[in-house]
């Protein structure tokens, strides 16, 4: 007997349909849906415990997006042949969903919650990441878990000057902008994407266009909730409360905390120390035995501190470190800091610092991608590292976490827009950003340092890219708001918006926005974007004082490259049987040689930091691929001797017959003692047999013809 399915359909402008189905799969989860578009199918499930853990004062939620290899008819690589830890691509999609979903949960909901989104069937014309947020929200919508949704996510792109929703991968290749936008019926929640140096107004237009589609997705989920009968959500009580304690703390501590934040101390450690003194003094004043709930002191203290800091900015337009609202912290930078790196830079802005390297490699250094729906190679990639000491913490090194993957991806998207065209860049480029200090926006420091490192390495980027993190503090009751440029870590924590924008002097290349407050007016958003532009251009002025344009040459120790095209049929001659020829060349000349077939031709790239070695490798390749010309003279080596002549290798891999009659002008009766195997001789190519392609050589043609004797003339 078939289950009772409940289905909702959303029709896009171009006629494509998205369906949300519930009631068939994973019925023991609190909520489960299948979202379909074309042949693509995503199963989203959500489970949340009824009670919160002891002492938990946050939402312990995990979001995992995973693609099954069977979804696209593939078997996983590797030894185990099964899906393992999430790939970076899956982590990035998980983060996008998490950042959109997390803010819509009630602030006092602290139960363990898990959202799992699985791609069960793929479609080459459908990008599943644009459906993952809708699937997660729909799973919550058909559950009894409290949340302030629904929400949805869509991809908006501008293709041939027209904005479109959820384009196909092929169409997306021509896009001048591409953003994933998340939102509810009433407001935008999250934006992330990249663009070809667009203007601020164009970005706002794309977000508004996306929001109109999102509203339709949300309305479909509201109707689905009603049909499923999940309009009433579960009751919960996850927070202890002690109003008397809060009132006492606010009365005693607010003015003290306001006094500390109003001192506008630039140093984070000094500010933190003064705040800690106030908290410690209050705890000590209570004595060992007191009537209040001790576990609430920390959260209440943080709440009062946050209120004081926010009011300082809203009422007096002042910031914690003394800067103006649109002021960027002091900047210093240097390039060529690491003498052995191909390119390096140090970028420091306030108490945030990145040391970034640029390494140039060959095609063999490309990053291989082997996913369920995506496979191929990357010639440009960026790795971001965030060690514990950068914030003065003791933290074990367990490899990159989701935050590191996300921050590195944002910086990579910002910088890849200014890379030289593929035909102008033979290198694989790896950027590595090591954050040595962090107090706000280390990903944007990575963008700035990455630009400098590439220019220091001699990569001819189109223009330097800089980035800035914007924040906002707002009060919906009074309508007051303050937009902050280059936010501190503390301002990120106490603010309502984290908005990172990167770009060149011409326009925006990437952005990432997370909202923590409902209802950001588009006029305010536009104001924030233009204030960000002002900050970006200021930072650009600062880094161009260090290095204004790419260096005209590579470092002496950087591999130089040489590129040549050869006929397709000669690729095998250069490689040799089992790779013998090319391997010997690389070993003898200490070079790296890469061959690939492109457009029915062979493309050869030679890499070496030593010009003499490179010249030797190039000469050997040219000798192999050179076409024999009748009438040309060659230095050949005798390979073997036959009664009728000798076979001579006159070019690499090319043997010709030196007939006994072509050795000298005088008659040669026998080959005995005339030539020896391995002997080098000069020969001339006199003919090529049109039927067999065999080469005919002559030695006597290069020797002076003896004059006839007098008796011969008679």
Q: Which long-range contacts (CB under 8 A, 24 or more apart) does 575-584 make?
A: 581/624, 581/652, 581/653
Bridge pairing between strands 695-698 and 654-659: parallel
Bridge pairing between strands 61-67 and 111-121: parallel
State the alpha helices, DSSP H only, in 361-440: 402-416
Q: How far is CA 520 from CA 189, 208, 432, in A?
A: 9, 12, 35
Q: Length of the chain, please? A: 714
Cα 146 from Cα 50, distance rounded (Å): 11
Cα 154 from Cα 189, distance rounded (Å): 12
Residues facing residue 385 across a β-bridge: 434
| Contacts for 214 with CB less than 8 Å, ≥ 6 apart | 151, 152, 153, 154, 181, 182, 183, 184
Cα 676 from Cα 361, distance rounded (Å): 46
Instruction: Spell out the SS3 assignment of 132-159.
Output: HHHHHHHHHHCCCCCCCCCEEEEEEEEE
> Within a 13 Å sphere around the CA of 206, how many CA atoms are in the beta-carbon half?
32
Burial of 402 (0-12, 13-18, 19+ CB in 10 A): middle
User: Binding site for Mg(2+): what residues are annotated?
Assistant: 492, 498
- What is the token pair recorded at 594? 């890469």
Burial of 126 (0-12, 13-18, 19+ CB in 10 A): buried
Q: C-alpha 279: how far from its chain's center?
A: 42
Residues facing residue 179 across a β-bridge: 156, 193
Cα 630 from Cα 120, distance rounded (Å): 64
Calculate the dihedral angle through the C-alpha atoms of 311, 313, 314, 317, rounding to the nearest 10 degrees: 140
User: What DSSP state is assigned to residue 87?
Assistant: P
User: What DSSP state is assigned to residue 24?
Assistant: S
Instruction: Spell out the SS3 assignment of 260-302.
Output: HHHCCCCCHHHHHHHHHHHHHHHHHHHCCCCCCCHHHHHHHHH
User: Binding site: what residues are annotated?
Assistant: 492, 498
Cα 95 from Cα 76, distance rounded (Å): 23
- What is the token pair recorded at 27? 């019925």
């Amino acid at each position: 007997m078939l289950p009772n399915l409940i289905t909702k359909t959303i029709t896009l402008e171009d006629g494509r349909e998205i369906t949300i189905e519930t009631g068939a799969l994973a019925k023991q989860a609190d909520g489960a849906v299948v979202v379909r578009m074309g042949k693509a199918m995503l199963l989203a499930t959500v489970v949340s415990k009824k009670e919160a853990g002891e002492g938990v004062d946050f939402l312990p939620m995990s979001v995992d997006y995973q693609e099954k290899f069977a979804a696209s008819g593939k078997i996983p690589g590797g030894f185990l042949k099964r899906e393992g830890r999430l790939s970076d691509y899956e982590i990035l999609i998980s983060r996008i969903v998490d950042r959109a979903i997390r803010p819509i949960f009630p602030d006092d909901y602290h139960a363990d919650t898990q959202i799992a989104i699985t791609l069960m069937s793929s479609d080459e014309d459908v990008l599943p990441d644009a459906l993952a947020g809708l699937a997660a929200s729909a799973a919550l919508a058909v559950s009894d878990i409290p949340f302030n949704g629904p929400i949805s996510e869509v991809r908006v792109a501008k293709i041939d000057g027209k904005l479109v929703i959820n384009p196909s991968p092929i169409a997306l290749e021509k896009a001048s902008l591409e953003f994933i936008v998340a939102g509810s019926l009433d407001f935008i929640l999250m934006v992330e994407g990249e663009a070809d140096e667009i203007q601020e107004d164009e970005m706002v237009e794309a977000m508004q266009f996306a929001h109109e589609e999102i509203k339709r997705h949300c309305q479909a989920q509201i109707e689905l909730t009603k049909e499923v009968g999940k309009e009433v959500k579960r009751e919960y009580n996850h927070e202890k409360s002690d109003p008397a304690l809060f009132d006492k703390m606010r009365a005693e501590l607010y003015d003290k905390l306001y006094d500390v934040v109003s001192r506008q101390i630039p140093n984070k450690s000094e500010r933190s120390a003064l705040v800690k003194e106030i908290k410690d003094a209050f705890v000590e004043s209570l004595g060992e035995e007191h009537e209040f709930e001790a576990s609430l002191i920390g959260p209440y203290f943080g709440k009062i501190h946050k209120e004081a800091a926010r009011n300082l900015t809203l009422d007096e337009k002042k910031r914690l470190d003394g800067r103006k609202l649109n002021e960027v912290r002091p900047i210093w930078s240097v390039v060529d800091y690491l003498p052995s790196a191909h390119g390096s830079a140090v970028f420091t802005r306030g108490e945030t610092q990145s040391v970034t390297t640029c390494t140039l490699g060959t095609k063999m250094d490309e990053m291989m991608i082997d996913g369920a729906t995506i496979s191929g190679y990357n010639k440009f990639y960026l790795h971001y590292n965030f060690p514990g000491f950068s914030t003065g913490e003791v933290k074990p090194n367990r490899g990159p976490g989701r935050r590191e993957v996300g921050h590195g991806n944002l910086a990579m998207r910002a910088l890849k827009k200014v890379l030289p065209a593929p035909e102008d860049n033979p290198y694989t480029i790896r950027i590595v950003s090591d954050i040595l200090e962090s107090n706000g926006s280390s990903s944007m420091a990575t963008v700035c340092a990455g630009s400098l490192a590439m220019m220091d390495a001699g990569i001819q980027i189109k223009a330097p890219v800089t980035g800035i993190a914007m924040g906002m503090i707002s009060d919906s009751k009074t309508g007051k708001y303050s937009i902050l440029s280059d936010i501190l870590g503390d301002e990120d924590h106490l603010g309502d918006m984290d908005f990172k924008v990167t770009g060149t002097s011409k326009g925006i290349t990437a952005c990432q926005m997370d909202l923590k407050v409902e209802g950001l007016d588009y006029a305010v958003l536009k104001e924030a974007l233009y204030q960000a532009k002002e900050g970006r251009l200021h930072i650009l002025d600062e880094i161009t004082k260090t290095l204004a344009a790419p260096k005209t040459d590579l470092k002496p120790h950087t591999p130089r490259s040489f590129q040549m095209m050869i006929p397709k049929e000669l690729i095998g001659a250069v490689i040799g049987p089992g790779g013998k020829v090319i391997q010997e060349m690389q070993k003898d000349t200490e070079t790296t040689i890469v061959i690939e077939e492109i457009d029915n031709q062979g493309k050869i790239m030679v890499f070496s930091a030593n010009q003499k070695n490179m010249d030797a490798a190039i000469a050997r390749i040219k000798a192999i691929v050179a076409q024999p010309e009748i009438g040309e003279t060659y230095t050949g080596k005798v390979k073997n001797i036959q009664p009728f002549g000798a076979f001579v290798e006159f070019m690499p891999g090319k043997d010709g017959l030196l007939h006994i009659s072509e050795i000298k002008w005088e008659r040669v009766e026998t080959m005995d003692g005339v030539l020896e195997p391995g002997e080098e001789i000069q020969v001339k190519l006199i003919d090529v047999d049109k039927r067999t392609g065999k080469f005919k050589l002559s030695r006597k043609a290069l020797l002076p013809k003896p004059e006839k004797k007098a008796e011969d003339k008679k």
